[in-house]
Amino acid sequence: MNIIKPHKLEQGDTIGLVSPSEPVFFPDKYLGGIEILKEMGFKVKMGSSVLKQVGYMAGNDKERADDINTMFRDPDVDAIITTTGGSCANRILPYLDYDVIRDHPKIFLGISDITPLLLAIYTKTGLVTFHGPCLLYGINDMSPYNKEYFIKALMSTDPIGVVREVAPRKVLKSGNASGKLIGGNMSAMRTLIGTPYEPNWEKCIFFWEEFTTEPHVIDRLLMHYRLTETISKVSGMISGNLSACVEKKYENVHPNLERIVVDHCKDEKFPVMFNLDFGHNCENVVIPIGCHGTIDANKNVFSIDETGVS
């Protein structure tokens, strides 16, 4: 695959906003996010269906896909940021124009249910996409950490390097690993397995996060990744912040999430790091999908060694 890197963001650039999954249910957060982007020196352009609602979707499938296609075609738009996540982004995968996306490479940033889009675009076009804060969550309430890594990942051609630790990390399996960074929300990216949009997991650093998913459900998810031989292909694993993943159904037996993760990786030789700063309701480093990263679990270090922009 030929990797394509979008041009870096600069002050004065125009950011296109799209809602590829659920509607904007919180207009105050939406407006707050726009204000933050303007304060950072950007102009903003809204997609046609960015504020639409069709039940739990922000417009029908074709409308949501057309917004993304239009933003990639639009010469006045320099980057594309998603407003929020949801549960239906994978419905628009057949309607994206991957030739247009390949021919007009731009920053595409999102998190959570946007994961299938990030991975599908990378897989079908070679364009580096970015796992990181969306408009309503992470930009609207932009913390100094989020701003630091937004700038490092999207506005500089220098590699991010060692990712600074905020929440206490844990090493579940020691060792070293390097490879392309592939991942996102584990439930959402599981929907790509067995489809033409599934990424190449071979020797990648597999990063994943979940939100309010109970440990016994994460156990089932990880087992699916084992059964599909995904886990056996990767060179290393890192989880995001899982502090909201609290057991309710089996709280009387207290299933331990760390032990669950170790159990699914015990027969593998790769290192595993736990509770890094990405995911929901936490600080978020921006991770360029398809770029080279390194884990040194012996030193509790995760680094992003390759820039995602040109």
Angle between helix axes 215-227 and 257-265 (nearest 10 degrees) is 10
- According to DSSP, the residues that pair with 108 across neighbouring strands are 80
**Cβ atoms 24, 136 nearer than 8 A:** yes
Contacts of 290 by beta carbon, 8 Å cutoff, 6+ apart: 3, 122, 126, 128, 129, 180, 181, 182, 308
End-to-end CA gap in the chain:
18
Look up residue 130 and give its DSSP letter.
E
Question: Strand order of the sheet with strand 43-46?
Answer: 43-46, 14-18, 79-82, 107-110, 129-131, 287-289
DSSP symbols for 164-199: PP-SPPEEEE--EEEEEEEEEEHHHHHTTTTSTT--
**Joined tokens for residue 21:** 């999954």
DSSP 3-state assignment of 68? Answer: helix
Compute the distance between CA of residue 262 and CA of residue 260 in angstroms, rounded to an integer.
5
CB-neighbour burial class of residue 137 (10 A; exposed 0-12, middle 13-18, buried 19+):
buried
Q: Which residues are catalytic?
A: 112, 209, 280
CA 205 to chain centre: 13
- Tell me the pairing of strands 170-173 and 272-274: antiparallel
**Cβ atoms 22, 56 nearer than 8 A:** yes
Compute the distance between CA of residue 255 and CA of residue 249 in angstroms, rounded to an integer.
10
- According to DSSP, the residues that pair with 57 across neighbouring strands are 54
**Joined tokens for residue 247:** 């057991």
